[in-house]
Amino acid sequence: NMVLASIRSEARLPVQMAPLIFISTVVTHLCGGSAGREGAALQLGGSIGSMFGRLFRMQERDKHVMILCGMSAAFSAIFRTPIAAPVFAMEVVCVGAMHYPALVPSTIASLTASWLAGKLGIPLAKFSVQEIPPLQIVPSLKILLLGVLCAGVSVLFCILLHQTEKQLHSRVQNPYLRILAASGMIWILFLLVRNQDYLGIGTDVIGRALAGDAVWYAFLMKILFTAVTLGGGFKGGEIVPSFFIGAVFGCCFGQIAGISPSFCASVGMVALFCGVTNCPLASLMIGIELFGAGGAPYYFMAIAISYLLSGYYGLYGEQSFLYSKFTGAVVNHKTRK
């Protein structure tokens, strides 16, 4: 939220945010917190971009471009999606108004970061999807239904995430006691489920879902674990948890609807990502970069309907909506919590 706010105003990002968010995210993952890495990466990249903008005494609008370059580079290095990364950075700040002046420098930053990450041994994020159906009416209707359901799950995720944080902050005002209380709640949840699927990033579960194997309640448990982790004060990202939730939900939908669970897991990932971030173009590009272009028409169907029906809910409170999703009228609406 600080990063998004700084792009729209002259608010400064503190230099110490970069090392602090890095250390706190490592601690979250070390202790088994249910969170991702990309939130820290976006803050890290935005903070470094802001620092360079001040160091070279750039004008305010150029500092904003530098922040977007840092966000693009960090997102690209983490996910190895160099095409989607700059689009996401430009699209997420204000829905309906992309920051096109940052297109060229953000693209260069993203490609450079992805190349360097490859040299450092971080592999490309590629997944194989089984049984992509031909573009026909029946599978299209099923995928549209999956997009509708993903919109509902994305709204549920956003509401529980924000409300858990609100309730924990109001009931336990001391931040140290609050994070201890959240730790105790996570421990109790872990003892109840008796497995580690919902701790940490959860890439193993995502991989199993993309292979067609998931249990129906897994998406609900991940929502609960992530809401307690981030609401209690642990640091990390929400995007990888949204991939987890979308993948297992889509896989279970495919098992019920009689369409490839593996393919539905990939559709669920991008549709739910769009529902929580309100970034349809970045969602489509992530789908193509992660899974290939074979399922692109289906991805776009699910993304479009999820974007429309998720309303004005989202992960980031500082995200704004310039235009109405339904009428096209100018609304300047803030994210609902």
Read off the pTM: 0.93
Per-residue pLDDT for 128 more than 90?
no
Q: 301 and 161: one domain?
A: yes
Q: Is residue 183 part of a domain?
A: yes
Looking at every residue in the chain, the average pLDDT score rounds to 91
Structure tokens at 255: 């098992």
Q: What is the mean pLDDT of residues 49-53?
A: 86
Structure tokens at 316: 């980031």
Q: 107 and 9: one domain?
A: yes
Q: Is residue 127 part of a domain?
A: no
Distance of alpha carbon 316 from alpha carbon 93, whole angstroms: 9
Domain enclosing residue 108, as ranges: 2-119
Looking at residue 280, which CATH number applies to its domain? 1.10.3080.10
Q: 159 and 230: one domain?
A: yes
Q: Per the structure, how many domains does the chain have?
A: 2
Which pLDDT score is estimated for 320? 86
Which pLDDT score is estimated for 7? 59
Q: Is residue 110 part of a domain?
A: yes
Q: 13 and 53: one domain?
A: yes
Q: Is residue 50 part of a domain?
A: yes
Q: Is residue 130 part of a domain?
A: no
Which pLDDT score is estimated for 138? 96
- Report whether 313 contacts 156 (CB < 8 A): no
Which pLDDT score is estimated for 303? 98
Task: State the pLDDT confidence band at 328, using cuts at 50, 70 and 90.
Answer: confident
Q: 66 and 109: one domain?
A: yes
Select from 58, 88, 119 the last residue of a domain: 119
Q: 207 and 86: one domain?
A: no
Q: 294 and 174: one domain?
A: yes
Which pLDDT score is estimated for 164? 95
Distance of alpha carbon 295 from alpha carbon 308, whole angstroms: 20
Per-residue pLDDT for 26 more than 70?
yes
Q: How do residues 136-189 score in pLDDT, each as one tens digit? A: 999 999 999 999 999 999 999 999 999 999 999 999 999 999 999 999 999 999
Q: 158 and 13: one domain?
A: no
Select from 71, 89, 119 the last residue of a domain: 119
Helix and strand numbers (H, E) in the chain are 14, 3
Q: 290 and 223: one domain?
A: yes
Q: What is the mean pLDDT of residues 18-26?
A: 86
State residue 128 phi and psi, 5-degree precision.
-95, 135
Which pLDDT score is estimated for 173? 92
- Report whether 269 contacts 246 (CB < 8 A): yes
